[in-house]
Structure 1
Amino acid sequence: SHAVACVLDAPRDVVHNEIFNVGSDSSNYQVRQIAEIIGGLIPGCELIFGDSSADKRNYRADFTKIHEQLPGFECAWNVERGAKELIDIFDRIGFDEELYRFRGHTRIKQIRHLLDTGQIDDDFFWR
Structure 2
Amino acid sequence: MLGSMGIAAWKQYIYNGTLLSRLAADDGYFRYVYIAPWCRISPFMIGLVLGVFLRKRQRKPFKKMIGLAGWTIATLVGLTLKYSKYSMHREGGEPWTRLQNALYESLDRPFWALCVAWVIIACHNHMGG
TM-score clears 0.5: no
Q: Please report the TM-score for the alignment, with normalisation by the length of structure 1.
A: 0.27
Structure index of larger Rg: 1
Larger RCO (alpha carbons 8 Å, 6+ apart)? 2
